[in-house]
Amino acid sequence: MVKQTGLLRGAFERIASWDKDYELGEVGMPDKLPWGGEKSQRFFYDSFFRAYKQMMVDFRSRGLKLPSQVGFYEAIDEPPRTLKGKILRKLTPFPEHDFGMRQADGRRKSVLEGSPHLPAEERSARPSQLEKIISYLRAPMRRPEKGEDAEDE
C-alpha cells in the first residue's frame, strides 16, 4: 500500500500545473502495534521514498514543477495528555501520538539506526536508515539505465 502513489501523483500533477509552490507537508507511519511497529515504520520510509523519488524523476522528465520540500511526521512521540487523547490513542486506527522517530523519552527508534541485523554497537556506528533515505532523495534525479538497479542512484 505504501508504494501506491497514484492518488498523490494525481494531486501533485494537478497542483504542479498551477505553477505555484507546493510541498508534501507530513508523511509518517505509526510504530504502535497493531497498526505499525518499528519494522513497519522502517518499511514505510524505505518503500514510500523510493516510489516518491521515482515520481519526482518522472515529473522532472515531463517538465512539471517539483514540490519545494517534504516534511517528516514527527520527530518524537508526543503522548496524549488528556483523558480523551489517551482513550483515542487506544481505540483509533491511526494514533497521532506514535509516529515519532524517537520515543517520548528521547530513545531512538529503529528508523534512526543502521541495519537491525547488526549488533547494537556496530549498528550505532553505521548510517541510520533515515540518513540513507535523505542521501537517496538528494542524489541526482535520473532514470535508471536498463539493467541498472534503482538503488544505485
Question: Per the domain annotation, does 29 fall within a domain?
Answer: yes
pLDDT at 152 over 50: no
Total length of the chain = 153
Question: Per the domain annotation, does 64 fall within a domain?
Answer: yes
Question: Per the domain annotation, does 152 fall within a domain?
Answer: no
Question: Per the domain annotation, does 128 fall within a domain?
Answer: yes
Q: Which of 89, 103, 120, 110 is nearest to 44 (CA)?
A: 110
CA 31 to chain centre: 13
Question: CA Rg, the chain, in Å?
Answer: 17
CA angle, 79 then 35 then 131, to 5°:
75
* Structural domain for 46, as ranges: 6-143
Q: Note the pLDDT of residue 117.
A: 80
pTM of the full structure:
0.76
Q: Note the pLDDT of residue 62.
A: 92
The residue to which cell 488528556 is assigned: 82
Average pLDDT, the chain: 83
pLDDT at 153 over 90: no
The tens digit of pLDDT for each residue in 13-58 reads 999 989 889 998 888 888 877 667 888 888 888 889 989 999 999 9
Q: How many separate domains does the chain show?
A: 1
The tens digit of pLDDT for each residue in 88-147 reads 887 876 667 788 888 889 888 888 887 778 887 887 788 888 888 888 888 887 766 666
The tens digit of pLDDT for each residue in 73-89 reads 888 888 888 898 888 88
Question: Per the domain annotation, does 1 fall within a domain?
Answer: no
